[in-house]
Structure 1
Amino acid sequence: MQVGVDYFIEKLHSEHQTSRFSMGPDESLRPLKSFIQNNALAFQTSNVAVTYAAIVPPADPNDPQAKKRIIAYVTLTCSEIDLDGAYPLEDCEAANRYQSISALKVARLATHRDYAGHQIGKTLMEFAIALAVHQVAQFVGCRFLVTDSKANSVGFYQNKLGFTLLDTEENRNREHPVMFLDLNKLDLNAPPADVLDEPEGSTQEAEPA
């Protein structure tokens, strides 16, 4: 599936159909389903976290009651990361004395089970990276994009997106290990994503903070 053709990315709003978002029978994924169905819009209205949805248009665009269907989503929030000395900032040594460094966090990432395997989650993450680089980090202090990965999703973040696993014994043993992307190590001259048209998916999920 191709973003901009088969599906589109928009900031979550009331015109989106959230009630039919399904993650399948896996009990561990139910919080992701529950969040988009019951809490995401309230979190956004309250400025706690913002959700971007990959949507497909309604079957009948002339039906005023029809809503756009959500096939994947990513939720972002302000955060920080304790590097615990495992990743010193060589370009700003004075910052290393602080316990935590500023970050944008991917709090949730989920794809509808009917759309798994179409790289929609990866596209949403690429959107989040572009948003962090070209919008957030350009106006406020924000060095990293971080997430608490499911153990079986570590390879996805490392191999597909270039994230680094925080290399401490405590983190390696966590159920949801912290992973990070150093925004200063990315190519800032790369074309920015169309943020106003808003984000893009995969079968990977990241649990919230």
Structure 2
Amino acid sequence: MQPGVDYYLERLDAAHQTNRFSMGPDLDFRPLKSFLIQHALSYQDANVAVTYVAALPPTAPGERARVIGYISLTCSEVDLGGMYALEDCVHANRYPSMPALKIARLACHAEYRGRRIGEALVDLAIALAADHIGPSVGCRFLVTDSKARSVSFYERAGFTMLETEENQARPEPVMFLDLNKLDLDPANDPGIPVLETAAQEAAALTD
């Protein structure tokens, strides 16, 4: 499935159909489902977190766009514990934490797993942070508290686990991506067409 073709990346609004969102029988996923259905819009209205969805286009008049994946983003910071230094701004290394955009929640409908929807949503977050948030207010990192089962997923997206013993022992370790070390030009890496699409989606969402 391709974003912009089979589904669309959009900011969540009341017109989206969320009540059919299912993550399967795993109880660990239940909070992700309930957040989308019960709380995501109120968090958004309160400027606490903004949610972007992967939504299937309606197939009949009056039908609502069905949500098959989502990502919630919020302002945050990351304490690198002295384990990662900024080579391009040495003076900033004296601060205990760095500005970051946080992936607070990421989920995909059970029926659509394995179709790179999660990757497309993370690419959207990267594009938003690198192309819009960072240049506007200063945002060096994209961070998340990853579930142990998702560490390899985030590593494939370019994230690094914070290498402290305390963090590595956590059930949801902190992982980070240095936005200043990204190459977002698809011409330099033909293997990331989704990121190009995500950057275009990000531009459309912020226009």
Structure 2 CA distance, aligned partners of 1:59 and 1:189? 34
SS where residue 18 of structure 1 aligns? coil
Alignment correspondent of 1:204: none
- Counterpart-to-counterpart distance in 1, 2:16 and 2:39: 13
The equivalences for 1:136-147 within 5 A come to 136-147=133-144
Match of residue 183, structure 2, among 187, 190, 196? 187
Alignment correspondent of 1:54: 54
Structure with the largest fraction of helix: 2
Q: How does 1:36-115 map to 2 (within 5 A)?
A: 36-60=36-60, 62-63=61-62, 66-115=63-112
CA distance in 2, matches of 1:5, 1:40: 25
Q: CA deviation at 1:197?
A: 4.0
Counterparts of 1:54 and 1:147, CA distance in 2 = 19
**Is 1:171 matched with 2:175?**
no
Contact 2:143 2:174 in 1 (8 A): yes
Q: Give the match's secondary structure for 1:137.
A: helix
- Structure with bigger RCO (C-alpha 8 Å, 6+ apart): 1
Q: Distance in 2 between matches of 1:151 and 1:48?
A: 25
Q: State the Cα distance separating 1:90 from its structure 2 match.
A: 1.6
Q: Secondary structure at the match of 1:145?
A: strand
Match of 1:202 in 2: none
Partners of 2:203 and 2:131 lie apart in 1 by 12
TM-score w.r.t. structure 1 length? 0.89
Q: Aligned with 1:138: secondary structure?
A: helix
**C-alpha separation in 2, matches of 1:83 and 1:131:** 22
Closer, same or farther: CA 116–189 of 1 in aligned 2, 3 Å: closer
Contact 1:9 1:197 in 2 (8 A): no
Alignment of 1:109-124 (within 5 A): 109-124=106-121
TM-score by length of 2: 0.90
| RMSD across aligned positions (CA) | 1.5
Aligned length: 195
Query: How far did residue 98 of structure 1 move?
Result: 1.0
C-alpha deviation, 1:27, in angstroms: 0.4
Unmatched tracts of structure 2, length 5 or more: 187-195
Offset at residue 58 of structure 1 (A): 2.4
Which runs of 5 or more residues in structure 1 are unaligned? 199-209
Q: Structure 1: how far apart are the matches of 2:148 and 2:3?
A: 28
CA distance in 2, matches of 1:7, 1:193: 14
Contact 2:16-2:64 at 8 Å conserved across structures: yes
In percent, how many aligned pairs have the same letter? 58
C-alpha distance in 1 between matches for 2:50 and 2:66: 18
SS at match of 2:200: coil
What is aligned with 1:26? 26
Given that 1:13 and 1:41 are in contact with CA atoms closer than 8 Å, whether structure 2 keeps it comes out as yes
Deviations 1:69-117 (A, max 9, x none): 0000001000000000010112112111111100000000000001111
Alpha-carbon distance, 1:194 to partner: 2.6
Alignment deviations for residues 12-69 of structure 1 (CA, whole Å, 9 cap, x no partner): 0000011111111000000100000000000001100000000012231x22xx2110
SS at match of 1:95: helix
